[in-house]
Chains A and B, each alone.
Chain A
Amino acid sequence: MNNYLLIPFLPLAAFLINILFGRKYLKENSHWVSILAVAGSWIVTVITLLDVLSGKIINEDLYSWIVSGEFKASVGFLIDQLTVVMLIVVTTCSALIHIYSIGYMRGDKGYYRFFAYLSLFTFCMLMLVMANNFLQLYFGWEGVGLCSYFLIGYYFDKKSASDAGKKAFIVNRFGDFGFGLGIIMIFLTFGTAYYAPVFSQAKNFAAQTVNFLGYDVHLMTLIALLLFCGSIGKSAQMPLHVWLPDAMEGPTPVSALIHAATMVTAGVFLVARCSPIFSLSETALTVVALTGAITALFAATIALVQKDIKRIIAYSTISQLGYMFLAAGVGAYGAGVFHLYTHSFFKALLFLCAGSVMHAMSGELDIQKMGGLKKYMPITYWTMLFASLSIAGMPGFAGFFSKDEILWLAYSGQSPVGKFVWVIGALVAFLTAFYSFRLIFLTFHGKFRGTHEQEHHLHESPKTMTVPLILLCIGAVASGWVGIPHLLGGGAHFMEFLKPVLGHSEANATHTEEWMVMAISTIAGFSGIGLAALFYLVKTDIPVRLAQKFNTVYKTLWNKYYVDELYSFIIVRPAIWTAKNILIGITDARIIEAVVNGVPKGLGEFSRILRKVQTGLVQRYAAIMALGLLIIVAYMLWR
């Protein structure tokens, strides 16, 4: 018995039980099924972690999924160091968020449905990270996308929610388009879709070019960039980031689990998993690094001015994901995964705290209507403060180690754009600290700015919600301690652990420089917090005046650089317009149908002319007959 199979299949069983029996029988008890299942997965994950730590790697097929000629894909599992890190992240976050949801979702009419979806999501995410071939990866990839669609549109009677779900799914499809083609290219190149042979043979194709749609391109660059398309979609990088902020329509636990801690990091996981391919193409890596860096900056600037508590965190997620890609792009896959791992704790925590705040504020999202919540909900305040310190990269917190690792390797690595992305990274570190603390100060400090009714209702959340907050807070603070760099006297165990899968990125720089990089990012973090304190605690009129003075900039940021409007203008509307006016209006109606209906109409017209001969007057027929007879006789006689 392979007990690792329990990891994904327990949540699947929970999903099936909940979806089949939840509505009629389980109802308010649905959470038990899901929570027991995910807890079981977590326990098996820990056992598996111990196995992997002792050097046991699993790579096994369960059964053949698709066999067609030489194409073969199976349902199989690869459990190595990278997988196990992801497993820990997924099962831990998932278990805590399941528990949190008991309190958060209590009394909702779709209670069973919510837990069913959460279990299905956990199953798909686990299948994704545990896959041993690209097609199963794709299965998990689409599966988590589907669950995200369900959960974003969970309140489906709201138009905005169902719109957001649909948008998330379709935008992701754009990314998956490239991802799918990437898998096809991999199969056509390597003759297999399994990780192990693909990664081991990738080197042999390092110099090969291939004709793609009429252009000769470097094979590995092509494959890497096609795969990266999928990552862009799933991890909400530019230019496919538009779905993630809208995804905040879903219940907050969903935002925490799917749109912060796990699913959106799948893109980073993909790049890390395919590092043997990416490493062979400098072009692809540069693209990854620049995409990550630009997205990080872009999203951080938008987060500066947003007022919706969840959207701020969503943009912060996009920005942090950008960091991870930045890391992968400079070849520091280990650092990227490290940040993925720490980020999942502090970002999930941020979302759950936001959920706790919303719970207290009866669903209010606008941080301008909050303020002074510190005294009403101390646990939420302190946990959120720690999460923010972590994301701002304060020394000692988890985010500090991972972010520092990324910036250091960007600065010191081989990448041609390394220094450039390092500058952006340091700038983003400043912005991150600023907007994170803007959120903290506006929400928890100062005077309450909401209605009296809301103020009366303010309360700390129930135990089922605060306990997960505290547990995650431990993660947000301490999860980085497994990767303390050598410079600070640590062993960098995390990187060492992942080395067999992700390789090691060499740093060519001195210790002095390493101290300098660390100092700069720390200063950036401190000054960000300081500036936020100045703007939102001391001189609260500055932000308003700035917004007035730089109105255009403010408007652009507030409207998220008008990307949504642009897409609507260049893709959505033209497609529907073409369908309505060209395809239905002209091609179908005027051209094809004209021929189709024209032929019978022509025949009808012809017969209408011919019909006139038939007068119904028998004598006239006889006269014509007689005439005909006469002509024939005459012809016979005189021919």
Chain B
Amino acid sequence: MNDLNFPILSALIFLPVAGAALLLLISRSNESLIKWISLIVSTAAFIISIPLFTEFNKSTHLMQFTEKHSWIPSLNINYSLGIDGISILFVLLSTLITILCVLISWNSIKAKVKEFYISILIMEGAMLGVFCALDFMLFYLFWEAMLIPMYLLIGVWGGSNRIYAAVKFFLYTLAGSVLMLVGIIVLYYQSGRTLDILELTAKTYPYPLQLWLFWAFFAAFAVKVPMFPLHTWLPDAHTEAPTAGSVILAAVLIKMGAYGFIRFSLPLFPEASRAMTPVMLALSVIAIIYGAVICLAQTDLKRLIAYSSVSHMGFVTLGIFALNLQGMEGGILQMINHGIVTGALFLSVGMIYDRTHTRQISDYGGVASVMPVYAAMFMVFTLASIGLPATNGFIGEFLIILGGFRANQWAGVLAATGVIIGAGYMLWLYQRVFFMETKPKVAGLADINLREIITLLPMIILIFWIGVYPNVFLGFMHESVKHLLERVNSGGAHEASIAKNILEIIK
């Protein structure tokens, strides 16, 4: 089961939590110690996650590094963890992103430093838990646990309208999650009292029930993604959150929705998913175009990037619900890509916000003349965001459009228009911020320092690594995705053939 003879996933999840507990013991006046401990803990978590990457067996779709302990025996709830080719990349992304979040907040968070880092570390534990959990109750626990630190991050350290944004974020997500909880309970009774995700996904459920449950789960996941028309919490949350919050939100949190679709909705409800494909494709395409067009009229830097996330996540859901290999792999890769690129964009915006304290695009101009290194790095992220070949964005978008086109020509064609508009708004943004004459607000700004370069460097490396040699990453998912698609596309085939025979006899 576990090749390492070491409960690596538990260690991964609880190390940050333990770190947070350690921070509790430290005097709040000792800020630098707090920062260093969080940096060390998050780096340690990242280092622990590296063996996952190196020891992972790419030739099987089975769960790896599994752990299973009885937790609440009377309800048959277990503490069970494991990762496969779909979740492993998210685990790595989460551990990486947390380090960057600690680094980016080094000087920008000045109030309640201790609580801030505690929130970040607990957040990390919960995120990892979501991606590793193989028991529905455990999954739900982590899923909801994640909300609390995020709520605090936005509500305490956010911008001027933070309370509204935090409450909106919390209620929006909670409303969705509660419907999922109902769905989980129904599944629990339907399946003969088990909450083991692998057991549940191996069973078949009657079609009408699948349909109901599909929409119950949809509520939870679509809010998180966010899919059109459930996206309006995102711009507010992103805009008001502190940089680290935006980064976590963009890089990891909203991936959980799409991850949920792949991990739960598709294998649990294959027939319903297939039947709902047109709806999902339509919503995805609307999100792509809607998010992109709306970006053209944004005046706020963070809001623009937030809406671009809506567009990019539209690509992800399009890829997933194309229900073919290219689309699905592109979708998963694009989630990672979006995490990297949008995370990096928010990091960069945070850096310049720390200097100018304005998010208005019109206050900027000519930044490239004052901060050349920063401008160059931001250009890389811009290009990755518009999907230029040799950056990661291209690989994901191309596979998605290929898969989408295969599933439905209109979906592929319309999604491709999103790429045009994407180039439009990102380059226009870049022009308004970095080019033209230097505005008084940015005159004399210092270029980014070494800490900031180190924060952005991993993202740049990943952008080109995935862009130039994506097979390292695609290789993880081949088997898992293939297995999943077999499940989705064959699920119900037996019943369908019976129904067909009956119809023939009637005729």
Q: Which residues of A contact B (CB under 8 A)?
A: 19, 23, 63-71, 135, 138-139, 142-143, 146, 149, 153, 156-159, 162-163, 165-166, 169-170, 173-174, 177, 180-181, 184, 187-188, 212-213, 575-576, 578-580, 583-584, 587-588, 591-593, 596, 600
Contact = CB atoms under 8 A, between A and B. Distances in A.
A181 B402 CA distance: 8
B427 A579 contact: no
Nearest to B395: A66
B420 A184 contact: no
Contacts, number: 140
Interface stretch (B15-23, B355-363, B406-414): B406-414
Interface of B: 168, 171-172, 229, 231-233, 290, 293-297, 324-326, 329-330, 366, 368-369, 372, 376, 383, 388-390, 394-395, 398-399, 401-402, 405-406, 409-410, 412-413, 416-417, 419-421, 423-424, 427-428, 431, 434-438, 468-471, 474-475, 478, 482
Contacts of B366: 157
B82 to A, nearest CB: 24
A139 B389 contact: yes
Given A139-B390, A162-B431, A187 B470 contact: no
Given A23-B372, A146-B388, A170 B326 contact: no
Nearest to B399: A68
Which 8 residue pairs are nearest across A and B when measured between Cβ atoms?
Answer: A69-B325, A579-B297, A162-B435, A139-B389, A156-B435, A580-B297, A579-B296, A583-B294
A293 to B, nearest CB: 28
A68 B168 contact: no
B399 A157 contact: no
A177 B420 contact: yes
Interface on chain B toward A: helix, strand, loop, or mixed SS? helix
A187 B423 CA distance: 25
B428 A588 contact: no
A600 B172 CA distance: 11
A180 B405 CA distance: 11
B178 to A, nearest CB: 14
Given A19-B376, A153-B435, A170-B424, A579 B294 contact: yes
A156 B388 contact: no
17 contacts: A23-B372, A66-B398, A68-B478, A71-B399, A139-B394, A146-B388, A170-B420, A177-B416, A180-B416, A181-B413, A184-B412, A213-B413, A575-B293, A579-B294, A588-B232, A591-B229, A596-B232
Nearest to A139: B389
Nearest to A577: B297
Contacts of A142: 388-389, 394
Contacts of B412: 181, 184
Contacts of B369: 156-157
A68 B471 CA distance: 9
A128 to B, nearest CB: 11
A143 to B, nearest CB: 7
Contacts of A162: 431, 435-436
Given A156-B368, A163-B431, A584-B297, A184 B401 contact: yes
B326 A169 contact: no
A576 B402 contact: no
Contacts of B402: 71, 184, 187
Given A153-B435, A157-B437, A68 B329 contact: yes
Contacts of A177: 416-417, 419-420
A614 to B, nearest CB: 23
A169 B423 contact: yes
A184 B434 CA distance: 35
Contacts of A158: 436
A180 B400 CA distance: 12
Contacts of A19: 376
A188 B405 contact: yes
Given A157-B436, A166-B428, A169-B427, A588 B294 contact: yes
Contacts of A173: 419-420, 423-424
A71 B421 CA distance: 27
Given A159-B436, A188-B405, A181 B416 contact: yes
A576 B296 contact: yes
Contact of A593 (B232, B326, B410, B417): B232
Contacts of B405: 181, 184, 188
Given A213-B409, A588-B294, A68 B435 contact: no
A591 B395 CA distance: 35
B471 A584 contact: no
